[in-house]
Amino acid sequence: MKTMEDRLGSAMSRLLIFTIVATAILTGVIEYLSYFDQMKTEVRNEAGAIASVANTQGEAAINAALGESTGSRITFIDMDGTVLYDSYADAKTMENHYNRPEISAAREKGTGEQTRYSDTIGRRTYYYAIRLSDGKFLRVSEPLESAFSSLMRGFTLIGLFTAALLVFTLLFAKKLTKKIVEPLNGMNLEHPLCGEVYEELRPLLNRVDEQNNLIRAQEEATRRSHEEYMAITENMREGLIVTNMDEVLSVNNSAIRLFRVSREDVTGHGIITVSRRPEVMDAWKTAVSGSHYDGQFLMEGRTFEIFGNPVLIDGEIRGAVLLIMDVTEKARTETLRREFTANVSHELKTPLMSISGYAELIEQGMVRQEDLSGFAGRIRGESARLAALVEDIIHLSELDEMKEDSPKEDTDLLEIAEEARKSLALTAENRGVTLTVQGEPVVIRGIRQVLYEMVRNLMDNGIKYNKEGGSVKVTVGKDRDHAFIRTADNGIGIPDADIERIFERFYRVDKSHSRATGGTGLGLSIVKHAVQLHDGRIVVESKQGKGTIFTIFL
Ligand code: ADP
């Protein structure tokens, strides 16, 4: 593309060349015309002078001597047109001049003139004729070429001057162009209002500045919303995939981790590069066809929920957004809750059925008078079990409700253990089990009631699953940074296969034994919950027939 400098330069140069050459030509023409006029005047004057000499001194004055004294051609013509004398040629050889226009005019008006080509001298010539007093004619002529040649000298001078002028003006034009263009080249379009430029450009530069500000503001807004988008999507735990109708536009960190892909490998490619799972494909296809998708899939032992939604712009489907959430915990707690509800109903039903069975027998008079108190005792026992069960369920749901940040207080574990011992002393005695608490006072921050239930449940189990003459030793102490509380019994112990499951709700190694001792199968669930609530850890060591040690580190 041509530069402005080139264009301006060449336009200026052309204009200059045209102006100078036209001026030169015009000057030449004017010069020529004035020269021609001058020459004519000279010829006329000369002719006038010679004529007056001829009129006064007679025709003899017009002779070769006169012809030689002047540079002009002098011709003397008779009345009938015969050439009498010519200073350039032999008059005898010349044809009759009667009809020459200048002669005819002179015959009629006294003088005549014409410019034409002369056969005699072979040049364009200016002729001027005067009628003399005796009726003959005197003609003075000057060849034009001599006018040209003298003019050409002038022209050469004009030409040289013109050429010099041209060179100078062209150089000047180049410099001027540079100077005109310089501010334009030096214009800073980033900051158009800084710096000196032509006033004519001011509106344009103002507009550029406005546009710049607008673009900057738009860029800033785009950057901010992008940052916002990134901050949200990159820090969310859910996987997020945004696509247009053919390819993935963006995929967040969670989705990358989840599907073990790299951003480069999926961005700009089909959804299939993210995952080949049918649920992912279905979710995407459903979304791009304009519907909502909600499904689940299992991956590496975890449960995920996937949502697909269409992206609508101006009512037209332009792509899809897929959201993938890890719902393993939710699914697990839902299963647990379902199981728990089923278990609770079952557990509550058993004592209730017994109670209603016994009551029915009494009602129908099928129980003898002497057995009545025994039946009443069973009903009382089942009711106590029911009460214990309900109490444990309430405890557990209370623990479920509690959060890790529930208000805590300084609690001495030894004091709690001592309290629990006191409350269980009678039970232990009835079963022939010695219950002892030892150790040092250890104060931790915790929920007193929860810690108490925890210790009491462990001690209660130690007594329940024990033998006559057995013992339960509770030790409270500090192991490095952690407080611990340990209950060690020398009771029946737990089979290895069951150890893993004893913390499950309603799990009992030996149902009948548990029931006989008033167990609900919820005690250790409460313990586990209480430990979790205090960020603690529980260790079980047990040997069947030898005894069990529960150690809780807090
Ligand atoms: P339960 O109310 O039946 O005692 P828990 O949740 O407290 O329920 O205990 C679950 C099961 O773990 C019990 O049924 C029992 O079989 C076993 N168990 C708990 N503690 C002991 C222990 N100290 N010695 C032997 N078995 C125990």
Q: Is the pLDDT of residue 10 over 90?
A: no
What pLDDT, on the 0 to 100 scale, is given for residue 333?
85
What pLDDT, on the 0 to 100 scale, is given for residue 145?
61
**Contact partners, residue 358, CB within 8 Å, separation at least 6:** 375, 378, 379, 382
Choose the weakest-confidence range: 126-135, 270-279, 329-338: 329-338
Reported as a single tens digit per residue, the pLDDT across 161-219 is: 878 888 888 888 888 888 888 888 788 888 888 877 788 888 888 899 999 999 999 99
Ligand 1 pocket check for 491: Cβ under 6 Å: yes
Under 8 Å between Cβ of 311 and 242: yes
The partner residues of 473 in beta bridges, in order of sequence, read 436, 488
What pLDDT, on the 0 to 100 scale, is given for residue 147?
54
**Contact partners, residue 173, CB within 8 Å, separation at least 6:** 9, 12, 13, 16
**Contact partners, residue 100, CB within 8 Å, separation at least 6:** 81, 114, 127, 129
Reported as a single tens digit per residue, the pLDDT across 126-140 is: 999 999 888 899 999
Tell me how far the alpha carbon of residue 389 is from its chain's centroid.
Answer: 62
What pLDDT, on the 0 to 100 scale, is given for residue 158?
75
Q: Is the pLDDT of residue 542 over 90?
A: yes
Ligand 1 pocket check for 489: Cβ under 6 Å: yes
State how far the Cα of 132 lies from the Cα of 204, in Å rounded to an integer: 81
β-strand 111-118 against 123-131: which pairing, if any? antiparallel
State how far the Cα of 82 lies from the Cα of 93, in Å rounded to an integer: 10
What pLDDT, on the 0 to 100 scale, is given for residue 146?
58
> What is residue 254's DSSP assignment?
H
Q: What is the mean pLDDT of residues 448-465?
A: 94
1 by DSSP, 3-state: which? coil
Cα of 521 from ligand 1 centre, angstroms: 7
User: Which two structure tokens, joined as six digits, stand for 473?
Assistant: 């030793």
User: Which two structure tokens, joined as six digits, stand for 507?
Assistant: 């799990």
Ligand 1: which atom is nearest the Cα of residue 507?
10
Residue nearest to atom 13 of ligand 1 (CA): 508
What pLDDT, on the 0 to 100 scale, is given for residue 223?
96
Under 8 Å between Cβ of 447 and 533: yes
Q: What is the mean pLDDT of residues 269-298?
A: 94
State how far the Cα of 441 lies from the Cα of 411, in Å rounded to an integer: 10
Q: Is the pLDDT of residue 269 over 90?
A: yes
Ligand 1 pocket check for 470: Cβ under 6 Å: no
Ligand 1 pocket check for 319: Cβ under 6 Å: no
What pLDDT, on the 0 to 100 scale, is given for residue 415?
95
Of all residues in the chain, what percent are helix, strand and coil, respectively (each to 5)? Answer: 55, 20, 25
Cα of 504 from ligand 1 centre, angstroms: 11
State the burial class of residue 81 (Cβ atoms within 10 Å of its Cβ: 0-12, 13-18, 19+). middle
Choose the weakest-confidence range: 195-204, 298-307, 450-459, 482-491: 195-204
User: Which two structure tokens, joined as six digits, stand for 524?
Assistant: 């250790």
Specify the DSSP element, H or E, that contains 342. Answer: helix 328-363
In single-letter form, the type of residue at position 194 comes to C
Q: Is the pLDDT of residue 1 over 90?
A: no
State how far the Cα of 462 lies from the Cα of 491, in Å rounded to an integer: 7
What pLDDT, on the 0 to 100 scale, is given for residue 107?
92
| Residue-averaged pLDDT of the chain | 88
Furthest C-alpha separation in the chain: 203
- The region, left, alpha or beta by phi > 0 then psi within -120 to 50, assigned to residue 232 is alpha
Cα of 407 from ligand 1 centre, angstroms: 30
Sign of CA dihedral 270, 274, 280, 284: negative
Ligand 1 pocket check for 538: Cβ under 6 Å: no
What phi and psi, each to the nearest 5 degrees, are found at residue 457? -60, -45
> What is residue 371's DSSP assignment?
G
Nearest C-alpha neighbor of 76 from the set 109, 54, 45, 93: 54
Q: Where does 330-442 show beta strands of DSSP type E? A: 409-412, 434-439
Q: What is the mean pLDDT of residues 254-264?
A: 94
DSSP letters spanning 117-182? EETTTTEEEEEEEEE-TTS-EEEEEEEHHHHHHHHHHHHHHHHHHHHHHHHHHHHHHHHHHHHHHH
Q: What is the mean pLDDT of residues 494-520?
A: 84
Q: Where does 181-301 show beta strands of DSSP type E? A: 239-244, 248-251, 293-299
Ligand 1 pocket check for 240: Cβ under 6 Å: no
User: Between the CA of residue 347 and those of 158, 511, 525, what are the distances in Å?
Assistant: 130, 11, 15
Which is more confident, 327 or 160?
Answer: 327
Choose the weakest-confidence range: 151-160, 407-416, 446-455: 151-160
Specify the DSSP element, H or E, that contains 221. Answer: helix 202-235
Q: Is the pLDDT of residue 359 over 80?
A: yes
Which is more confident, 516 or 522?
Answer: 522
Ligand 1: which atom is nearest the Cα of residue 487?
23
Q: Is the pLDDT of residue 424 over 90?
A: yes
Ligand 1 pocket check for 510: Cβ under 6 Å: yes
State the first-to-last Cα distance of the chain, in angstroms, to the nearest integer. Answer: 82
Return the ∠ at Cα 396 (arms to 393 and 401), rounded to 5°.
125
Q: Is the pLDDT of residue 67 over 70?
A: no
Ligand 1 pocket check for 75: Cβ under 6 Å: no
Residue nearest to atom 2 of ligand 1 (CA): 519
Range ranked top by mean pLDDT from 175-179, 323-327, 392-396, 507-511? 323-327
* % of the chain with per-residue pLDDT over 90: 51
Where residue 256 falls among pLDDT bands split at 50, 70, 90? very high
Which is more confident, 36 or 283?
Answer: 283
Q: Is the pLDDT of residue 406 over 90?
A: no
Q: What is the mean pLDDT of residues 503-525?
A: 83
Ligand 1: which atom is nearest the Cα of residue 514?
3
Q: What is the mean pLDDT of residues 48-71?
A: 76
Ligand 1 pocket check for 252: Cβ under 6 Å: no
Q: How many helices (H) and strands (E) does the chain have?
A: 15, 17
Where residue 355 falls among pLDDT bands split at 50, 70, 90? very high
Reported as a single tens digit per residue, the pLDDT across 80-111 is: 999 988 888 888 888 898 999 999 999 999 99
User: Between the CA of residue 252 and those of 242, 243, 257, what are the distances in Å?
Assistant: 9, 12, 9
Q: Is the pLDDT of residue 4 over 80?
A: no
